[in-house]
Structure 1
């Protein structure tokens, strides 16, 4: 390929031009031209290339087109990139794309494992929101950590999905939209294809999901009213026998990443038995933290109030071997607690990225090397809970760092106490994009031996 003429004088600009042309495999000499951007749109972002120095990793190239043009016309001074469990959220200097001078092109690269999966978003920032300026303005008596968190939380309000990513954006934390990265060597998440292509599709409004219901649960024990989605999936020969699956953070699986079509497909194909699913709304952050941090009241309310209320209309099994509690993060902690505390009711646990540091948040701080453990792990080690017939499916991401460590601690404790636990790690972070496939894998594992007795 013939090298383009470099019109901008410094050596860094020349290198960036050359690098971009090589990576994008562009035949267009003018980087940033309409034709060049058209080529990038056809390829879809981020661009994925082999790493010649490390065959186990790939090079991802992120690009952003400044709608206001070059630096002489645009107010944008930085384009921060927030990649799940890659970007450090605790600094005033998170990674930012770099502008190619006198163009509308912003550019950044990342080296990552071939088997990684994750989500990301871009954050164009004006002079007001440049992190280094905030850091310079700190006084000696200021709380730097508090100020940084304030800056970051305000900064991400302007986060956007990548407009040139071919995957349709999906909702993530704080209801912001994220773009997805599925690398070429990964197993395809084909079950979620319908959602990925059109996430605005409302499953609850689709007539084919007539078995999805929405009820309200007024709990006298908890003193709160909340939504619960019910899904009687598949035809059960005996509804009194059908498995019961309780999904925590039900609003995520009913609205942000709707699971109904995937459950239906897996049931129709015979990978899952006909079952009753209860998706329990978390209400809000404060209520979620109260309910899902090993709260006996929450689980007593589930057993004494919610399940009897649902069973009046939707019969299901009382067999603990066919009753699953499933959750992620705080929900993973809560699901594990429920199974350990009440194995005679909740005989199967599906825990993903469980927050087993709780209540000692020091365990989550970067660089922590102490032997301290979370409360639930200590309970297992002290033999507060006995293995019995409890069956556990546990997952965590390799890029969840301290959270990976506390999951390792709990898994070791469970294994040493002879609990029946299957432990998996995925190459990714604290990410619904990773959890969604693991959720189906866990359900299939926990229900693999179930059969209706005619």
Structure 2
């Protein structure tokens, strides 16, 4: 949990003292320092080696009424409590937070914020913008197949001890797999979607069938989580066997919110339409013990539901920040965590799990993502499932998932090597 108490940056305190004594050159020197090193400020805390003081900054151009920090250490609730303050009568606005030294998270700023609840669709890229003083950004690229998607960028906060992400960058000496884009029509769902297929370097249709990885939200796991690069690097190091990845699109927000949260017709589409379509064209295994289904958020929820309803196809579930708070019908009196309840009521199946969740994934009640992931973990273990569970110091964030995907793959697919 991030400490929401207000803290004072020693660097800002020193600058305030200099300005109060008439040293106006100190402010320009400060801004030159920020231009060279970038924001936010990161300062060690005396006698507290596990935490840093992080100070977000804004340079006023003469029209600033307020500046609010969103996400990162600020979270998303109550923007009024995450406003920056102005340093004396200067052009410097700032806000400090005490955070653990291994935090990795994205954040946004809002200049002259209305201090109202967020509207995600309207506010991203308009009300919420990247930090102009921070050169580190995370891009949500434009979807070339959508006329309404223009893409946007947000800012990156990485503390010095944030875990390395060694597999997300292409390596010049590593052979590259191939990605092909198809369109697949579904009679069951009455729609058509893009499906990306990754084949590993040296793909051979006459070899032993390849292990299978199915990841939901395909474009996100191509662009924001560079899955092909991650697979190339892991295969090259011998961490996982060569495998084929199938990455179907989720079309749009409305379709995604209908199909991914425990929707039986979607499971039927996978079993009766998508997998047969893939098998006609690519040399994949039909062994569930060498097949992984995975995703993040609703995709993590969907992967566990597929594991429950289609264990004869998928014997491994890779869940990144699964939305296990979901309830099937809020109006009918059924308790929350509907999927967890289904696992309680079902016999144990031959399915292995890798589950992870971020320590900063908290909602207004300050509990849901972490508590519900831990609850499902405990239920699965009590039922006798093999569950590999981990928590990272970050948010509900592709910035984090792109690094931890390799952990899930090596945990689950690493064992495939011994079965070849």
* Unpaired segments ≥5 residues, structure 2: 1-7, 18-22, 143-148, 362-366
Q: Does 1:433 align with 2:399?
A: yes
- Structure 1 pair 357/373, CA: closer, same or farther in 2 (3 Å)? same
Q: Does 1:228 align with 2:216?
A: no
Other structure's SS at 2:414 match: coil
How many residues in Structure 1 have an aligned counterpart in Structure 2? 389
Q: Are the counterparts in 2 of residues 349 and 393 from structure 1 also a CA contact under 8 Å?
A: yes
Partner Cα separation in structure 2 for residue 151 and residue 281 of structure 1 = 21
- 5 Å matches for 1:434-449? 434-449=400-415
Q: Are the counterparts in 1 of residues 293 and 317 from structure 2 also a CA contact under 8 Å?
A: yes
Q: How far is 1:170 from its partner?
A: 2.4
How big is each residue's C-alpha offset from its partner over 1:248-288, in whole Å with a ceiling of 9 and x where there is no partner?
Answer: 11111122343322221222222222111111111111100
The residue aligned with 1:355 is 323
Q: Does 1:392 align with 2:353?
A: yes
Other structure's SS at 2:276 match: helix
> Given the alignment, which residue of 111, 123, 140 partners 1:171?
140
The residue aligned with 1:143 is none
Q: Are the counterparts in 2 of residues 16 and 100 from structure 1 also a CA contact under 8 Å?
A: no
Partner Cα separation in structure 2 for residue 421 and residue 213 of structure 1 = 33
Q: How far is 1:329 from its partner?
A: 0.8
Q: How far is 1:423 from its partner?
A: 0.9
Other structure's SS at 2:102 match: coil
Q: How far is 1:32 from its partner?
A: 3.6
Q: How far is 1:438 from its partner?
A: 1.6
The residue aligned with 1:8 is none
Other structure's SS at 1:356 match: coil
Other structure's SS at 2:126 match: helix
Partner Cα separation in structure 2 for residue 92 and residue 116 of structure 1 = 21
Other structure's SS at 1:449 match: helix
Q: How far is 1:176 from its partner?
A: 3.5
The residue aligned with 1:130 is 114
How big is each residue's C-alpha offset from its partner over 1:387-436, in whole Å with a ceiling of 9 and x where there is no partner?
Answer: 3x211101111222311111111111101010111111111221111111
> Given the alignment, which residue of 302, 308, 313 partners 1:345?
313
> Given the alignment, which residue of 30, 34, 53 partners 1:40?
34
Q: Are the counterparts in 2 of residues 234 and 273 from structure 1 also a CA contact under 8 Å?
A: no
Q: Are the counterparts in 2 of residues 122 and 159 from structure 1 also a CA contact under 8 Å?
A: yes
Q: How far is 1:31 from its partner?
A: 4.1
> Given the alignment, which residue of 69, 83, 103 partners 1:81?
69
Q: Does 1:157 align with 2:131?
A: no
> Given the alignment, which residue of 103, 110, 135 partners 2:90?
103
Q: Are the counterparts in 1 of residues 105 and 157 from structure 2 also a CA contact under 8 Å?
A: yes
- 5 Å matches for 1:124-273? 124-125=111-112, 129-131=113-115, 148-150=117-119, 153-154=122-123, 157-171=126-140, 175-193=151-169, 211-236=178-203, 239-273=207-241
TM-score of the aligned structures, taking structure 2 as reference length? 0.84
Q: How far is 1:379 from its partner?
A: 1.2
Partner Cα separation in structure 2 for residue 177 and residue 268 of structure 1 = 31
Q: How far is 1:111 from its partner?
A: 0.5
The residue aligned with 1:115 is 102
Other structure's SS at 1:109 match: strand
- 5 Å matches for 1:296-445? 296-359=264-327, 373-382=336-345, 384-387=346-349, 389-400=350-361, 401-445=367-411
Other structure's SS at 1:40 match: helix
Q: How far is 1:453 from its partner?
A: 8.2
Q: Are the counterparts in 2 of residues 242 and 316 from structure 1 also a CA contact under 8 Å?
A: yes
Other structure's SS at 2:167 match: helix
Q: How far is 1:235 from its partner?
A: 2.6
Partner Cα separation in structure 1 for residue 418 and residue 282 of structure 2 = 17
Q: How far is 1:209 from its partner?
A: 5.9
* Unpaired segments ≥5 residues, structure 1: 1-12, 23-27, 69-73, 135-147, 196-207, 363-370
Partner Cα separation in structure 2 for residue 189 and residue 124 of structure 1 = 32
Partner Cα separation in structure 2 for residue 193 and residue 32 of structure 1 = 38
